[in-house]
Amino acid sequence: MIIDDDESARTALAVLLDGAPGTEVRAVLGGTEAPATIVGVDADLALIGRVAEGPGQAEVIFAAALARREPLALAGYGGFDTTGPGAKYLNGVLPPSLTGKDFVHAVHVLAGGLRVWATRPDQAARLAHLTPREREVLTLLSDGLSNDGIAHRLALHVGTVKDHIRAVYTKCGVANRVEAALFAHGLTAPRPGLRRPPAPASHTPVSPAPASRTPVSPAPRGGAPVSPAPARGGAPRAAAPVFRPAAPTRRSA
């Protein structure tokens, strides 16, 4: 789904994505029509560009997206205002410099549920440290080839390919194939483990308090308990039993 008040921009993007394998554009909308339509569109990702029709229009669009029953990833691109309050709902931001195959790759990553942020300012410096062979391996890895596929394409042993991939990870500062592929396209994906919120306080185990037993005075024979009452003159009545308070030593905490 593409949302943009710039008709030429949204049309050009729709042509790019519809012509790429693995993508299908389900709706191309302007900012004013998006809130009423976005709930019913069967899509995994909404690309939001320049939305300038009226104050707060972007927030209305985000509210409609969050009201959907099915989850929808949100990403800004092109002229999207990343400084506005709606930016906190984004799963990623794709810069205007990202075009063609790189843009399509980022869209696939976002639609798959990952977060993508652009760009990596250290990409050029890190790429300069790669050998020509490591660059070839990174390019093929970013195209989705397996280790066996890379080995076949470059006429190398699989073990040699693994050595090159480990070197690429170290020099590029990435931890896995997805991060390496994003790095090759000038993007970065925040690692969920570094952004995980602290566990709620209710998850902290609490030692159970010891149960307290309240002493209960025994009921008299033949019926309900009767409050003790001293007889006049200080002597107990002969016809009623005498009840004394429980001794302190018999209380338990």
Helix-, strand-, coil-residue percentages of the chain, each rounded to 5: 40, 10, 50
What is the spatial distance between Cα 95 and Cα 112, in angstroms, rounded to a whole number? 19
Radius of gyration of the chain (CA): 35
**Contact indicator for 64, 46 with CB cutoff of 8 Å:** no
Whether the bond between 204 and the residue before it is cis, its omega within 30 degrees of 0, is no
Q: What angle do CA 144, 145, 149 make, to 5 degrees?
A: 170
Q: Using alpha carbons, list the distances in angstroms from residue 161 to 11, 164, 227, 238.
A: 41, 5, 91, 104
**Contact indicator for 2, 34 with CB cutoff of 8 Å:** no
Give residue-wise pLDDT tens across range 19-43: 888 899 999 998 888 888 888 899 9
Give residue-wise pLDDT tens across range 49-84: 888 755 567 788 888 888 888 888 888 888 787 777
What is the spatial distance between Cα 122 and Cα 82, in angstroms, rounded to a whole number? 21
Q: Which of 74-78, 84-88, 237-241 has the lowest mean pLDDT?
A: 237-241
What is the spatial distance between Cα 1 and Cα 64, in angstroms, rounded to a whole number? 14
- Check pLDDT > 90 for residue 15: yes
Quote the pTM value: 0.55
Give residue-wise pLDDT tens across range 172-218: 988 888 888 878 877 776 544 333 333 333 334 444 445 555 554 55
User: Comparing 160 with 103, which gets the higher pLDDT?
Assistant: 160
